[in-house]
Amino acid sequence: MSGTEKVKGPASYFPSIEKTYGKPIAHWQDIIRAQDGKAHMQIVAFLKETHGLGHGHANALVAATLTERKS
C-alpha cells in the first residue's frame, strides 16, 4: 500500500486505539487471541467490561483479529 492510500475497515481505528488506551495493537490482539472459542460479541463485551474499551474500538479490534483465523 502506498502512503497516499487511506486505511479502511477495522484497521482505520488502530491509531485512535493506540492513542486513547496507550497500548500497541499487538497488546490487544494478544488478549483477543487468548479468548479462543468465544464469539465475536463475547470478546467485545469482555474488552469493554474488563479493559474499559469503547464499543467501536473493541469491535474493530475483534473484527480485525478474528479475520486472521479465517486466513
Per residue in 15-64, pLDDT (tens digit) is 999 999 999 999 999 999 999 899 999 999 999 999 999 999 999 999 99
pLDDT band at residue 5 using 50, 70 and 90 as cut-offs:
confident
**Is residue 40 in some structural domain?**
yes
What residue type is 63 in one-letter code? Answer: A
**Is residue 56 in some structural domain?**
yes
- Mark residue 24 as left, alpha or beta (left: phi above 0; alpha: psi -120 to 50; beta: remaining): beta
Whether 10 and 64 have beta carbons less than 8 Å apart is answered as: yes
The stretch 6-12 carries a mean pLDDT of 88
Residues belonging to the chain: 71
pLDDT band at residue 65 using 50, 70 and 90 as cut-offs:
very high
**Is residue 3 in some structural domain?**
no
The count of domains in the chain is 1
Q: Residue 47: give the domain boundaries.
A: 10-70
pTM of the model: 0.87
Neighbouring C-beta atoms of residue 51, cutoff 10 Å: 14
At residue 2, the pLDDT reads 53
At residue 1, the pLDDT reads 47
